[in-house]
Structure 1
Amino acid sequence: MRLAVVGSPAYLAVRPAPQTPHDLDSHECVAFRPGVQGPIMKWEFSDPETGRDFTIEPPTVFITNADETMLSAGLQGLGLVQHMECVVREHVAAGALIPVLDAWCPPFDGFDLYLPSREQMAPKMRALVDFLIEKRRALE
C-alpha cells in the first residue's frame, strides 16, 4: 500500500509539478479532516535519499471530511490531493489524474488492527479479523 499525490491535467497545466514536498508551498492542496472538528491530516512523505519519514501540512484551498469529495475536488482541478494509490489508480490510468512526487511516496506495510482483547470478542469482530487474516495470507 502507498499514498500518492495527484493532480488533474488542468491543474498541472497552470502550475508546474512539485519536485519535492517542500515545493507544495507554491501549490493549492485539498486537505482531509477526519471528523467534523479534528485536525487536518498532514501529508506523509519519505526522503528518497535518506529514507527519513516526515510530514507536511500543505497549504489548503479546500478542506473536507469526505473521501469522495476530496477525490472529486482533485479531479475538477481544485488542487493537489494525497490519497491511497489504490483509490486513484483508475483515474491515473484514464489520464484524469497525474501522479507527482512519486519518489517521495514509498510503500508501507498497510494498516494495523488493534484490539483491546481477544477474549469475549463479538462475533462480528471475530468475523472481520478472520476475513482480514485470510485476505492477508492470500496476498503473501
Structure 2
Amino acid sequence: MSILSKEKVVLNAKAQDRFEAILMAGRLLVDAGHVPAEYVEKMIEREQVSSTYIGGGLAMPHGTNDAKPLIRSTGMSVLIFPEGVDFGGEKANLVIGLAAVGEEHLDILSNVAVLVSEEDDMQRILQSSTEEELIAIFEEGMGE
C-alpha cells in the first residue's frame, strides 16, 4: 500500500473550520485502511492541544502520541482548500493528514516541509489539476 494514492487526494475541498478539515483528512486515512476510526479522534485531540499549522499555508494534522499503536501502516492524505481553512488564526490551503508507523513520521514531516518551503513547489501543488499530477509532485519532492 502506497503512502499516497489517488483515493487519498482531494483537490477542491471545503471545510467550515480546522476540525472539519481534520475529520476529512482522517476519514481518507481510515477509508484507505491505514488507521481505525479512533485515530481520527486522536487527530482532533492533538489539534486541541496545539495547532498542527506548520506555516506557509500548510497544516499537517496527526494523532497524539498515545494513538501510535492504532496505526496499521504509514499513509498520508492530501487536501487542497482553495479558499483556505482557519487553523488557529492562520490560513491553511494545504492540509496533509498523517499516520506513520514508528519514527517514519519524522522523515515524512521533514520531506514535506522542505517540499512546500519552495514557493514554486507549493504553487504547483495548489494548482494541481489532477490527483496524479499532485502525487507526482510529492513523489518527486520526497524522493519516492
TM-score, normalising length from structure 1? 0.28
Which structure: greater helix fraction?
Answer: 2
TM-score, normalising length from structure 2? 0.28
Q: Which structure's CA Rg is the greater one?
A: 1
Q: Which of structures 1 and 2 has the larger relative contact order (alpha carbons within 8 angstroms, sep 6+)?
A: 1
